[in-house]
Structure 1
Amino acid sequence: MTVKLLNHRADGPDSAPPLLLGPSLGTSYALWDAVAPELSAGHRVVRWDLPGHGGSAADLIGPGATVGDLAALVLDLADALGIDRFGYAGVSLGGAVGLHLAVHHPDRLTSLAVLCSSAHFGGGAAWRERAERVRREGLEWLVESADARWFTPGFTVPRLVRDHREADPEAYAACCDALAAFDLRDRLGEIAVPTLLVAGRQDPATPPAHLREIADAVPGSTLMELPGASHLAPAQCPRAVLAALRTQLDGPPSGGMRVRREVLGDAHVDRAQARQTPFTARFQDFISRYAWGEIWTDPTLSRRERSMITLTALVAHGHYDELAMHVRAARRNGLTPEEIGAVLLQTAVYCGVPAANSAFATAQRVLAELAEEEGTD
C-alpha cells in the first residue's frame, strides 16, 4: 500500500548528513527559506509542510490529532526518503514534534534544535476554543493578527501570511487539537540527544521562560535567546538562527569563515551569504573552506603580502569588481593608500598601462569611500 507523504522539499547532496526542518502552525516550509540554502551546503536538508499547509494534503490528520500523529508522518517521510537517523530542527508546533521524537524515538535523532516552542502550550482550553472557531468561521479572523503573533512591530513576511490564509481550516483545527493535548514536561529528563533551545526574547506565544524550562530539564542542553526576535525566528533573524544551528551541527565556525570575515568584513560576507541559493551553496562552502580556510590561513605569507598578490592578480585579469572588494580588504590587512598605489604602479609595468589605469580609477573610488566612511579627508 502506498503511504501518502507530507509535502516536502529536499536540498543538498544525498550523501550528506540528513537534517529535517519542521514548520510552525499556519506556515509552510517557506519559513526556512532564509536558512535552508546555506545549511544545504553541508547537509541533506528536508523541509516539510504540516497537513493542510503548503502542499501537504489536509486529510493526513483529522479531529483529535496529536503531536505523536504528526511525528509519525515525519518518520514516514524519512523512511520513504531512505533516511534512518537525522538531525532535526523545528519551530513552535514543529519543535514540539522534535521533542516527541526525542522522547519516543531517540534512536532516530542525531541532534535536536527546538526553536520558539514549548513542552506544553498553556493548557488545552484556548487551543480547543481556537479549533472550534476555525471550524466554524475559517481562518481569516486569525490571519488579521498573524503579524502581531509572529513578528515584532513593523516586520512581516508576506509569503508566510499568505500561507496562513491559504491553510485548510479543518487541518489547521486538527493541529490545534494536537497542541491542546501536548505536554511532555514530565518526560524531558529522558532526552539524551544533543539539544539546542532557541528563544525569541519578544516572543508572545512561547516566551523565553518556556525554553528555559526545557533547558533546565534536558541534560547538557544549550539555551540561546535572540534579542529582537519574536515567534518565527528563522524568518526574522535568519543569520542568528543559522549561526546557532551550524554551531550545533558542525561545531564552532571554521577558520576559513573566520578569516573570510576578518579580511572582507562582516557586511560583505553577510551579503554574499544572503544571496546564496541551493545552486550556489556548495561553491560558497568551497570558497570558505579552501580559499579562506587553507590558502589565506597558510602562515608562509602574511595577510599584507597576500593582499598585494591578490591586487596584482585581479588587475592582470581585469576583475575590477573583485579589485574594489580587495582594495577594502588590503586596507583592513594594513596596507596604506600609498602602498596600494605602489602595487598598482607595479602592475602598469607587468600587466599593461590600460589595466593599471582602470585599476587606479577603481582604487581611488574605493579609498575615497573608505575615507568618507571613516570621517577623514
Structure 2
Amino acid sequence: MNDDDIGRSHGMHVVHDGPRQAPALLLVHGSGMSSGFWNPVVPALAAGHHVIRVDLPGCGQSPPTGSYGVAVQAGRVAALLDGLGVRSVAAAGHSSGGYVATALAERRPGLVRSLALVSCGPRPDALLPQPLALRALTAPPFGRLLWAARSDAAIRRWIGAMCVRPAGLPDGALAELRGTTYRALRAVLRGNTEYITERSMPERLAALGVPGLVVFGAADPRWEPSSAHQYGAVPGTRVELLPGVGHVPMVEAPEETGDLLRRFAAVGAAEGGPS
C-alpha cells in the first residue's frame, strides 16, 4: 500500500517533503485551514527533515468524518503515522492544530519526542473578542449561509483578519480552504473549547515532560499575546514572541518561524532516529 492509499484509509490527505530517511517532523494546521498553510516554511524544514503534513478530517482535501473531538483527531493521526511506519516524530501545530499535536503526545508519549505550538491559545479566558470577519463566518445561523456562498475575496478577508503583516495566501491554499465544511469547522471549534476547558495547555505540557517551543505573534488578534508567557512556567519549554506578527506566523513571518521550527525540530532527533 502506498502513502496515498494509507492516507485515504485513515481519511486524511497526506503530503510528504524532504528525505524519508531523515528525522520525521509532523505539521498540523489550525481550525478550518489546511496543510497548504505550512507551504512557506516547508523548504527550510525539509532540508533536514522528513516533513509530514496532513489535512485533518473535513478540512482541505480530506473528507468529513463523524467526530471532530481533539482526542479523536489525535487518534486518527496516530493511526496514520503507524501506517506510515513512523516511530518517532517532532510535532508542530498551528492554533488548534497544537491541541491535536498535544493530544497525540498524550495518547502516544513514546511517539512524540518534542512539541512546538504556534499561536496556540493556552486557556479559554485568553481568547480575545474576535474580528468581525471571523465572527460573521463562524456564527450561526448566518455563518452557514455565508460559508456556503463565500467568495475568494471573502476567504482572503477571513485570513487577512487574523494577520497583522501583509500576507498573501500560500499557493493552493485558496482551493484547499474551499474543501473545508461548515459542519467540520463548527465541530472543531467546539472540540477545541472543550479540550482547553478540561485542562489548560500549560498544565498538559507540564504533564508530558517533552521539550516544548511556543511561538506567538506579539500582535495576535485572536489570542491575548501576553498569555503566551503562561507557558514559560513549564519546565523545558521556550517561548518566542515575534514582533509585529499576528495569528499566522508561518505566513506572515516565514523565515523567522521556519528557522525557529527547524532548530527546535532537531531537539532529540538523534535519540528519536529517522522515521
Q: Same fold (TM over 0.5)?
A: yes
Runs in 1 of length 4+ with deviation above 6 angstroms? none
Match of 2:237 in 1: 221
Return the offset for 1:213: 1.4
RMSD over aligned CA atoms reads 2.8
> Quick one: structure 1 residues 86 and 104, their matched pair in 2 at CA, closer, same or farther if it must change by over 3 Å?
same
Q: Would the aligned equivalents of 1:89 and 1:98 in 2 still touch at CA under 8 Å?
A: yes
Q: Would the aligned equivalents of 1:26 and 1:163 in 2 still touch at CA under 8 Å?
A: no
Give runs of aligned pairs for residues 29-40 of structure 1, distance below 5 A: 29-40=35-46
Match of 1:290 in 2: none
**Uncovered stretches (5+) of structure 2, i.e. residues with no partner:** 1-7, 268-275
Match of 2:215 in 1: 198
> Quick one: structure 1 residues 135 and 203, their matched pair in 2 at CA, closer, same or farther if it must change by over 3 Å?
closer
Aligned match of 1:212 in 224, 229, 232?
229
Return the offset for 1:122: 4.2
Matched, 1:81 2:84: yes
> Quick one: structure 1 residues 167 and 15, their matched pair in 2 at CA, closer, same or farther if it must change by over 3 Å?
same
Matched, 1:188 2:187: no
Q: Which one has more relative contact order, counting CA pairs under 8 Å at least 6 apart? A: 2
Match of 2:24 in 1: 18
Match of 1:337 in 2: none
Aligned match of 2:186 in 170, 173, 177?
173
Cα deviation digits, residues 184-241 of structure 1 (max 9, x gap): 314332121110000001111123233221232x212100011121111111111001
Give runs of aligned pairs for residues 225-264 of structure 1, distance below 5 A: 225-250=241-266
> Quick one: structure 1 residues 138 and 107, their matched pair in 2 at CA, closer, same or farther if it must change by over 3 Å?
farther
Counterpart code for 1:147: I
Aligned match of 1:110 in 110, 113, 116?
113
Matched, 1:53 2:59: yes
Distance 2:206 2:57 in 1: 30
Return the offset for 1:162: 4.9
Q: Would the aligned equivalents of 2:19 and 2:50 in 1 still touch at CA under 8 Å?
A: yes
Distance 1:138 1:16 in 2: 43
Aligned match of 1:101 in 96, 101, 104?
104
**Uncovered stretches (5+) of structure 1, i.e. residues with no partner:** 252-377
Q: Would the aligned equivalents of 2:70 and 2:100 in 1 still touch at CA under 8 Å?
A: yes
Aligned match of 2:159 in 125, 133, 147?
147
Match of 2:145 in 1: 137
Distance 2:77 2:83 in 1: 10
> Quick one: structure 1 residues 113 and 73, their matched pair in 2 at CA, closer, same or farther if it must change by over 3 Å?
same
Return the structure number with greater strand share.
2
Counterpart code for 2:120: S
> Quick one: structure 1 residues 210 and 76, their matched pair in 2 at CA, closer, same or farther if it must change by over 3 Å?
farther
Give runs of aligned pairs for residues 153-164 of structure 1, distance below 5 A: 154-157=166-169, 159-164=172-177
Distance 1:203 1:138 in 2: 24
> Quick one: structure 1 residues 152 and 21, their matched pair in 2 at CA, closer, same or farther if it must change by over 3 Å?
same
Return the offset for 1:134: 7.0
Return the offset for 1:101: 2.5
Return the structure number with greater helix share.
1
For the residue of structure 2 that corresponds to 1:147, the secondary structure is: helix
Match of 1:298 in 2: none
> Quick one: structure 1 residues 11 and 108, their matched pair in 2 at CA, closer, same or farther if it must change by over 3 Å?
same
Counterpart code for 1:29: S
Identity score, percent: 29
Q: Would the aligned equivalents of 1:84 and 1:108 in 2 still touch at CA under 8 Å?
A: yes
For the residue of structure 2 that corresponds to 1:117, the secondary structure is: coil
Counterpart code for 1:150: M
Give runs of aligned pairs for residues 266-305 of structure 1, distance below 5 A: none
Q: Would the aligned equivalents of 1:103 and 1:188 in 2 still touch at CA under 8 Å?
A: no
> Quick one: structure 1 residues 156 and 121, their matched pair in 2 at CA, closer, same or farther if it must change by over 3 Å?
farther
Counterpart code for 2:161: R
Return the offset for 1:131: 6.3
Match of 2:12 in 1: 6
Query: 160-169 vs 5-14, which deviates more?
Result: 160-169
Q: Would the aligned equivalents of 2:44 and 2:262 in 1 still touch at CA under 8 Å?
A: no
> Quick one: structure 1 residues 121 and 73, their matched pair in 2 at CA, closer, same or farther if it must change by over 3 Å?
farther
